[in-house]
Structure 1
Amino acid sequence: MDIRKLKLHEEPPMALLLLADPSQKHVQEYVKRGECYVAEVENQIIGVYVLLPTRPKTVELVNIAVVENKHGRGIGKQLLMNAIQTAKSKGYKTIEVGTGNSSIGQLALYQKCGFRITGIDMDFFIKHYPEEIFENGIQCRDMVRLSQYL
């Protein structure tokens, strides 16, 4: 697997980005302002992540996704570790990520990779998304914020 920054002339893999964030409007906005990285195997994009600078020396991982038929193979963890290394190499001191209260697997992965819970944005998904989101049989209501010092 090769992970690389998306080239200027390339379109971001929107279908893949929408697996992690169902709002095309939100995805288009942060992809324009951030840096998009893709994971490829045999010239096929199988994963993606987006880093968005938010404050001095702080970057947020605003999207990370793996094609559904490749779940459970450690690709998400490799992407996450690559995002952490990329942030470090660019001089950031903190990397942040937010995920839904219903994203049980993602919450576990982030914590296994060194992130700590720093806060909760109550009703974030109720206020900012027109459709109800359910995951793991749980309504996604709150944004759980995590961060890691680099």
Structure 2
Amino acid sequence: MNIRRLAASELPPMELLLDADPSREMVDSYLRKGETFVAEVDNQIIGVYVLMEKQEDSTEIMNIAVANEKQGQGIGRKLIQHAIDYTRNNGFAKLQIGTGNSSIGQLALYQKCGFRIVGIDFDFFLRNYPEPIIENGISCRDMIRMEIILQED
């Protein structure tokens, strides 16, 4: 598997991105501002993440997705590790990520990768998405904010 930055001339894997975030408007917004990285096997994109600078010392993974048929094979963890390494190597002190309160698997994965919960944006999904999101039989209402410290001051 190869992880690389998506070239400006390439179209982003919108189907994958929309699997992780159902709002085309939100996805388009952070695609314009962020850097997109893809995981490939045999020239097929099987994973993606979008990284965006948030503050002088931090970046945020705005979207991360792995093709359904490739989930459970450690690809998500490799994408997260790539984001951590890229962020650290570019001099940022923190990497952030947010996920829904109903995203049980993602919450576990991010914590296994070293992220810690730093806050909750209550009713984020109710305010920002026109349609209700139900995941794992749970109403997705709140954004769980997580962070990993990469460089101490």
Q: TM-score, normalised by structure 2?
A: 0.97
What does residue range 1-150 of structure 1 map to in structure 2 within 5 Å? 1-150=1-150
Q: TM-score, normalised by structure 1?
A: 0.99
- Alignment partners' CA distance in 2, 1:18 and 1:140: 16
CA deviation string 1:5-60 (max 9, x = no partner)? 00110011111100110000000010110000000000000000000001111100
The structural deviation recorded for 1:70 is 0.6
Question: What amino acid maps onto 2:99 in structure 1?
Answer: T
3-state DSSP of counterpart to 1:109: helix
Q: Identity, % of aligned pairs? A: 57
Ranges in structure 1 where 5+ consecutive residues have no aligned partner: none
Question: What amino acid maps onto 1:123 in structure 2?
Answer: D
Query: Which ranges of 4 or more aligned residues in structure 1 deviate by more than 4 Å?
Result: none
CA deviation string 1:89-127 (max 9, x = no partner)? 111100000000000000000000100000000000001
Query: Considering only aligned residues, what root-mean-square deviation do their CA atoms show, in Å?
Result: 0.5
Question: What amino acid maps onto 1:36 in structure 2?
Answer: T
Ranges in structure 2 where 5+ consecutive residues have no aligned partner: none
